[in-house]
Structure 1
Amino acid sequence: MPHHQDETRAAYDGVVELYASMFADHRLETQPFARAMIATFAELVRATGNPRAADVGCGPGHLTAMLHDLGLDAFGLDLSPGMVGHARRTRPRLRFEQARMEALPVEDGALGGVLAHYSVIHTPPEELPALLAEQARVLAPGGLLLVSFFGTEDPDPVRFDHKVAPAYSWPADRLAGLLAEAGLPVFARLLHDPASQRGFLDAHLLARRS
């Protein structure tokens, strides 16, 4: 496992209860655009006829539960054993496993959808193509990927000190290009007001496995 993943795992293990108290009981109640994109994603996944969906980087499992409530056969995967343990304790009817996003414990072409909600942000730019290829691998043809991230208007990714672990913001066009190269052409995007005082945008790209 790359050293940065060890650091990210340890960092999230150290903030499980704080992170869960901030996010796990709210289901994006203050983020209407994100809620709308996730609801659209779930509707489109249901329309494929394959409701099986992975919430990769699921954290405490709040969005896995949201996907379940939206009619998907959703399960959560996360690098942090602390987050997985919290999700299992608080949502025992759902399935959660520890896993790396670059090596998902899912068979080829098995899923109708993958949700990556701010979970690719800690991946260094040079490693992101392999991660996206793995999302494409587990999706059935016509399956959907919704990736949300911090957007920047700079021409290149910007490394910054995230509150938990070092992270990267991305120009939306650059990330959309990487998705297309992975066989996941983007057909819808939403960029809106800065997500933080840093001035990054909230960015959401919806792609379909070709």
Structure 2
Amino acid sequence: MTSDARVRQSYTDRASEYTALLGDIDQMDTRDRARIARWAEGIDGRLLDIGCGPGHWTAFLADRGCAVEGIDLVPAFIEGASARFPHIPFRVASLTDLDAEQDSFGGVLAWYSIIHAPAEEIPSLLAAVRRVIPEGGRLLLGFFDGPDGEPFPHAVTTAHTWTIPGMAELLCHAGFLVNDSESRVSEGQRPHASISATAV
């Protein structure tokens, strides 16, 4: 089974539960809301929310005046997001089957969107992101902080951690310049990290 198929099946089985627990913007950390809002300011062009899940971050960006589209490989998530936020375009797609023209988005939000991909797939996924962002376009990537490529038993299906330097190196190889990064440890949660980068 490919990682896309595994992730699609695992999240399909728990889509309603996931949406109830993590599908509302008010359930998100205020620091993440502030970071994503700052990142989106001034981006020229449409935004793409990759792995949008229930669509709450997509709606968060739309509410700030961004022209944004959400994609996810789980049909149940797209059906739910389209019902909850009918004013926003959502569609079933993944980074391995993006079906978008080159340089078609000014920015891409990939918030915990590639955590389930094994280490050997990450370079091709980042290359797929770079293809749809023009030079000067921006990427914001959220992920679990930890040893590079190390798997762990995520509540839904196996996920992987990355150090900020390790992910930054992969981004560099994919054609990005890292602008900044942040990390934190919160009680009862796995360490968090994010990187903002510009396509070069």
What is the TM-score of this pair, normalised by structure 1? 0.90
Matched with 1:163 is: 155
RMSD: 1.4
Deviations 1:150-183 (A, max 9, x none): 001x3x3210011011100111100010001111
Secondary structure of residue in 1 paired with 2:7:
helix
Matched with 1:132 is: 126
1:196 and 1:118 map into 2 onto residues whose CA distance is 18
2:165 to 173, 180, 198: 173
- 8 Å CA contact 1:42–1:71 kept in 2: the answer is no
Matched with 2:110 is: 116
Moved beyond 3 Å, runs of 4+:
194-197
Matched with 1:141 is: 135
1:196 and 1:70 map into 2 onto residues whose CA distance is 31
Which structure 2 residues correspond to residues 182-201 of structure 1 after superposition, within 5 A?
182-194=174-186, 196-197=188-189, 200-201=190-191
Matched with 1:101 is: 95
The structural deviation recorded for 1:16 is 1.2
Matched with 1:42 is: 40
Alignment CA distance shift 1:126-1:116 (3 Å): same
2:96 and 2:122 map into 1 onto residues whose CA distance is 9
Q: Tell me, which stretches of 5 or more residues in structure 1 are unaligned? A: none
- The sequence identity of aligned pairs, in percent, is 36
Matched with 1:86 is: 80
2:95 and 2:107 map into 1 onto residues whose CA distance is 14
2:67 and 2:9 map into 1 onto residues whose CA distance is 29
Alignment CA distance shift 1:74-1:195 (3 Å): farther
- 8 Å CA contact 2:22–2:28 kept in 1: the answer is no
Number of matched pairs: 200
Matched with 2:193 is: 203
Alignment CA distance shift 1:196-1:158 (3 Å): farther
- 8 Å CA contact 2:145–2:163 kept in 1: the answer is yes
Matched with 1:22 is: 21
What is the TM-score of this pair, normalised by structure 2? 0.95
The structural deviation recorded for 1:102 is 2.3
- 8 Å CA contact 1:42–1:67 kept in 2: the answer is yes
The one-letter amino acid paired with 2:13 is G
The structural deviation recorded for 1:86 is 0.8
